[in-house]
Amino acid sequence: MIFLNDFRTLHNVSTENICNTFNAAFSDYIVPMHLTTTILEQKMKGENLQRDFSIGAFTGDILGAFILHAPDNNEKPTVLYNGGTGVVPAYRGQHLIQKMYDQFIPVYQQQGIKKIILEVISTNLPAVKAYTNSGFHKTRIIHSFKGHVNTGKIAADISIKENTAPDWSILSTFLDMAPTWSNTTKSIQRETSFTGTWEAMINGQLAGFISVHRDTRRIRSIAVHPDFRRRGVGNALLQHVSTELDGQMSIINIDENFPEIGTFLKQAGFEHYISQYEMALEM
């Protein structure tokens, strides 16, 4: 076994190299994953993943493991989001995640970082253990769903139209659940060039919205104004977008404390496929 003991940022590492290592690390993952460089670039832009905050474990120029991090802002960040951690199978068993964090947590503290957050699949026990050993604790359980939307008749009084410049100060007030990092309005706004947002109107009033990443058909956010709930607005949005984008859709990280959202998704044709822990490390 080749041991990795060179830990440094991904400052000079190409997207192609990161993508190849990502795919190798996730080749036998619980949920099959394979990224193209384009999708990875979109992920990095949307989540604000930055090479200077990300960590790699190297042997020479070979990247064998990584942690992709995003700061909460680019001026004076205090929170980092772990948007992806992977270890190539040939280098597993070396406690690389813990070693990378052991080396870089003091660096992050010097940079003013107070907290790191992440999501990990609940059945991925080695990863949960690795994060726990690095000081992370569970903050909530979140669920993911996928499926083909059940088509049905949209209520006659609901009209739906894509808005390329939505007013997020208004739309964000429709949300009951605090979204995870990749589903926040900030992430959606960073993804504007490859994520569409459709709004539902009833009698000229804004009743709800849905934002979907076009290439992956992953729903970033869906919400209905409290005054217009139980009138078919959510279903209408799902049906419209599923017709527009044509294919199976998914949505991730629904807080277990909002079971009504899961019930709504199941009734619309989605099925639950994984659960995750959101975890945090306070420094």
Q: What is the pLDDT of residues 162-195, one digit of tens each?
A: 999 999 999 999 999 999 999 999 999 999 999 9
> How much is the pLDDT for 33?
87
Q: What is the DSSP letter of 226?
A: G
pLDDT > 90 fraction of the chain, expressed in percent and rounded? 96
Residue 83 CB coordination number (10 Å): 23
Question: How far apart, in whole angstroms, are the C-alpha atoms of residue 57 and residue 205?
Answer: 53
Give the tens place of pLDDT for each residue, 32-49: 789 999 999 999 999 999
- 60 and 114 housed in the same domain: yes
Query: How many structural domains is the chain composed of?
Result: 2
- 127 and 171 housed in the same domain: no
Residue numbers of the domain that contains 44 = 6-135
Q: What is the mean pLDDT of the segment spanning 207-221?
A: 97
Q: What is the mean pLDDT of the segment spanning 83-108?
A: 97
From 81, 105, 135, give the residue that closes a domain: 135
Bridge pairing between strands 195-202 and 270-282: unpaired
From 135, 154, 175, give the residue that closes a domain: 135
- 118 and 232 housed in the same domain: no
Query: Is there a domain that residue 159 lies in?
Result: yes
Query: Is there a domain that residue 140 lies in?
Result: no
- Rounded to 10 degrees, the C-alpha dihedral 132/133/134/136 comes to 20
From 87, 106, 135, give the residue that closes a domain: 135
- 167 and 84 housed in the same domain: no
Beta strands, E only, the chain: 6-9, 55-59, 62-71, 79-87, 115-121, 137-147, 158-162, 195-202, 205-213, 218-224, 249-255, 270-282
Query: Is there a domain that residue 283 lies in?
Result: no
Query: Is there a domain that residue 205 lies in?
Result: yes
- 207 and 256 housed in the same domain: yes
Supply the mean pLDDT for the chain. Answer: 96
Nearest to 37 by CA among 56, 67, 53, 14: 14
- 229 and 265 housed in the same domain: yes
What's this model's pTM, rounded to 2 decimal places?
Answer: 0.94
What CATH number corresponds to the domain at position 256? 3.40.630.30
Asked whether residue 152 carries a pLDDT value surpassing 80, the answer given is no
Query: Is there a domain that residue 202 lies in?
Result: yes
